Structure 1
């Protein structure tokens, strides 16, 4: 069950805890890189989307051992967090050690994608539009969201990242590390007072 605190929602799905901010922002990712470098340092970061598309390592990055495997950009072990490339509509999977996961679907580029419940989507549309709401359309979008969420959680359980970050229309952080979750929730909760 998700809870709401201003524009932040959070909840849990199986072993994964999640945070979602109503507005995506590369500032959120910048804050995590600056205030939580331990989230990334020494970890394998797999970037599935960079500014809405695949990323190709340059010569300097290749010399560091960074790789491109299909549409995946893989940083086998982050040495300097400030070297990680980020833009808008980025999607990252973070693993404790080097891996070449099979990631089939990128979610960050779909404006409808959210972790919150499909019912919450309907309720938000009803609240925003009142008597003019297209309830059939809202239910249709909620059903599409439900199908996307099934695919997302299935992919997460299959590839088993330590954390997942999507910075698009919404900012989404998912982790199986409870202490990491609490720290990031506090940092992002504080940040929303000033950035958004």
Structure 2
């Protein structure tokens, strides 16, 4: 399996574990007029037929372009080292914070929110879903969806009461905030597009920002899929316990 995205920066990295597999990595960085860096990446591993990437994401970094490139390379190497060992089952982690329970699944590839919703449709049925990220960006409802009750608050797309799961888009790199009722909503920041984001991270700026937003907005659940995993943050103890027992949603 070869790199396909055509990124201008490429390198090989040998994973620092017993398997010692070699990964091919490509990435690109560009700098916006406001000074922020945007990067995209692709990682492939021929022996395990593995390919994953996340398109464009904002980089939390201040410095020169050369320093940013070195920073991204170090992030990608760390991400590869933290992948689930080849052939192992998905790793499940749990935790609690601010009255919420957290389940996170990580198999080293991009998570799929569809897997979680198909296992536990009660997460969204009869509720409203505010989409902070859809395929790494904002979701744009169609004219038909607006007629059916979808709305927009800034970049945030808000569903009508969910009656069937097929109402919801699930292309990947999704982040949903689920509510029992719609009060006065406001735009939501998204976090799943940041490489290695996890609601269980410690001493991490973006994780702290995520929790400040959750505490302020008080959703019933937050569902997220990014690289490299899938997570559920919920105030529902029963759903948490069911999800935590299921290692492969």
Bin of the TM-score, shorter chain as denominator length: 0.7 to 0.9
Moved more, 100-109 or 89-98: 100-109
Corresponding residue to 1:96 among 180, 205, 210? 180
Higher relative contact order (CA 8 A, sep 6+): 1
- Measure, in 1, the Cα distance between the counterparts of 2:248 and 2:223: 18
For structure 2, the 5+ residue unaligned runs are 1-88
- Structure 2: distance between partners of 1:177 and 1:56: 29
- Cα separation, partners in 2 of 1:103 and 1:172, compared to 1, 3 Å: farther
- Matched position secondary structure for 1:173: strand
Please give the secondary structure, in 2, of the residue aligned with 1:62.
Answer: helix
**For this pair of structures, how many residues does the alignment match?**
158
Residues 47, 6 of structure 1: alpha-carbon distance in 2 compared, 3 angstrom cutoff: closer
Deviation string 1:141-186 (CA, Å, 9 cap, x unpaired) is xx4x2x2222111110100000001101121110011111112223
Shift of 1:113: 1.5
Q: 1:165 maps to which residue?
A: 223
CA change 1:76–1:36 in 2 (3 A) is: same
What are the Cα deviations for residues 40-78 of structure 1, in whole angstroms up to 9, with x where unaligned?
A: 111010000000000111022112101121100100311
Instruction: Write out per-residue CA displacement over residues 15-43 of structure 1, whole angstroms, 9 at most, x where no aligned residue.
Output: 100011124322xx223322322211110
Q: Report how far residue 115 of structure 1 moved.
A: 2.4
Pick aligned residue for 2:210 from 152, 169, 187 = 152
- TM normalised by structure 2 equals 0.59
More helix by share: 1
Asked if structure 2 preserves the Cα contact closer than 8 Å seen for 1:103 and 1:159, the reply is: no
Match of 2:243 among 174, 180, 184: 184
| Higher-Rg member (1/2) | 2
- Supply the distance in 2 between the matched residues of 1:180 and 1:9 (Cα, whole angstroms): 15
Task: Tell whether the 8 Å contact from 1:76 to 1:99 is kept in structure 2 after alignment.
Answer: no
Match of 1:39 in 2: 123
Correspondence for 2:146: 62
The question of 1:25 aligning with 2:76 is answered no
| TM-score, with length taken from structure 1 | 0.74
Separation in structure 2 between the aligned mates of residue 72 and residue 106 of structure 1, nearest angstrom: 10
In structure 2, distance between residues paired with 1:17 and 1:108: 18
The CA deviation string for residues 64-93 of structure 1, in whole angstroms up to 9 with x for no partner, is 101121100100311211221111111000
Aligned counterparts of 1:7 and 1:103: Cα–Cα separation in 2: 32
Q: Cα distance, 1:100 vs. partner? A: 4.5
